[in-house]
Structure 1
Amino acid sequence: MLLIDEMKANLPITAHASRDLSKTLIANGFDVTPEKELKILNVVESGEEGGIACFLDLPENFVVSLTLLRVGPDHPLHDKIFAYQKKRIRSIFRSKGLGSKRMKQIFQQEK
């Protein structure tokens, strides 16, 4: 079964914004800290460019990439989601010519 299908079968999924997403949202006037619990209400495949997009339970109808969200280690899909995120971020970094050192820094910050 594909990850997106497994996610759909487990909706809603509790998640938290990554630090980068939180900083961007706060800078734009939204109260979304990394500690704030969010719910993924729906997921769609947005192609090679966008990956898995998540519809969140915010009044502003946010849709964000799964790579910008963190799912708790107790969630049954945590390991699969984390593996997807790591692979996706690695692919994005390679396409932009960025190194693995920066990618490791990002994953260390999120722990």
Structure 2
Amino acid sequence: MRIDDYNAAKALTEKLKQSLPIKVKAGKQFFKTLKQKGEPANPDREFEIDFVGYSGDEGGIMCGLKEPNSPENQEKYVSSITHLKIDHNHPLASEVQAYQHQRIHKLMLQNSRGFTAELMTIEPTKKKKSAKGFGN
């Protein structure tokens, strides 16, 4: 099953690259990862995206993160944009949130691994008008 619309994801990736750095906070999954590493896991802790790349359906839009005003040699992080909360004032915030919602929805369908999940991802086709007198 395809997770991302490749062209839309690449286009968003390019827009994000043009907007760097972007302020974000840890989403639930990235927050858990920080806690597991013994890092300060303050929900208000800010990061800056300083790198963006598209890794295909496997990882989606990936982001390199650093803490604002951090020295160059400080440890950086990598996370899928799906696990980040973008600043609501950012001009691409609504596009990023739409991408995150779509990606999470399709990943959940994929994880259910049922036939119904496959059908839910198929784009509906337009109905053709039936011939007069046939089924009318």
If the length of structure 1 is used for normalisation, what is the TM-score? 0.81
More helix by share: 1
For residues 44 and 96 of structure 1, the distance between their equivalents in structure 2, rounded to whole angstroms, comes to 24
Aligned length: 98
- Structure 2 stretches lacking a partner, 5+ long: 1-7, 68-73, 114-136
Which aligned pairs between 1:1-111 and structure 2 lie closer than 5 A? Answer: 2-58=11-67, 59-97=74-112
Task: State the identity as a percent.
Answer: 36
5+ residue gaps, structure 1, are 99-111
Contact persistence 1:19–1:34 (CA under 8 A) = no
Runs of 4+ in 1 over 4 A off after TM superposition: none
Supply the RMSD in Å over aligned alpha carbons. Answer: 1.6
Q: How far 1:52 sits from its partner (Å)?
A: 0.4
Q: Which amino acid aligns with 2:52?
A: V
Higher Cα radius of gyration: 2
The normalised TM-score by structure 2 is 0.67
1:78-105, CA deviations, whole angstroms, 9 ceiling, x for partnerless residues?
000000000111111111018xxxxxxx
Give deviations 1:33-89, integer Å, cap 9, x for gaps. Answer: 221010000101111111000000153221100000001211100000000000111
